[in-house]
Amino acid sequence: MSGHGWVHVAPAGANRWTVRLSGEFDGHESAELRQALGDVATTHGSIIDVEMHSVTFLGAAAVAAIEAAVSSAMSSGAVLRVTSASPIVIRVLEATRLRHILHVPPTPRSESPA
């Protein structure tokens, strides 16, 4: 699969960041994701809100990038959380046991259709 993912990092206040993701995240895009999340996750006490409702594919390299960011955030006293997620992201985060760690809210936007 050839991904076309987009990562946008924006400050959202003092020690607060919003990371917006959209599209597909496989090998190449995951490197960009790892860099973007790593840059903000190592700031002591920061809060990082990740919006993933427009993500259509999340490959193993992207999951590894998220896991690395979670680890960095925990080590630096930062909080990394997913504030919105597409159904595919929810399934991947549940399968990898990251959903609870990332505090993904149970919103209609992030739930699979019945």
Write the pLDDT tens digit of every residue in 31-45: 899 999 999 998 888
Does 4 map to a domain?
no
What is the C-alpha separation between 75 and 61, in angstroms, rounded? Answer: 21
Does 2 map to a domain?
no
Greater confidence (110 vs 71) lies with 71
Is 19 within 8 Å of 36 (Cβ atoms)?
Answer: yes
29-82 pLDDT, tens digit each: 888 999 999 999 988 889 999 999 999 999 999 999 999 999 999 999 999 999
Does 85 map to a domain?
yes
Is 40 within 8 Å of 71 (Cβ atoms)?
Answer: no
The structural domain count of the chain equals: 1
Does 75 map to a domain?
yes
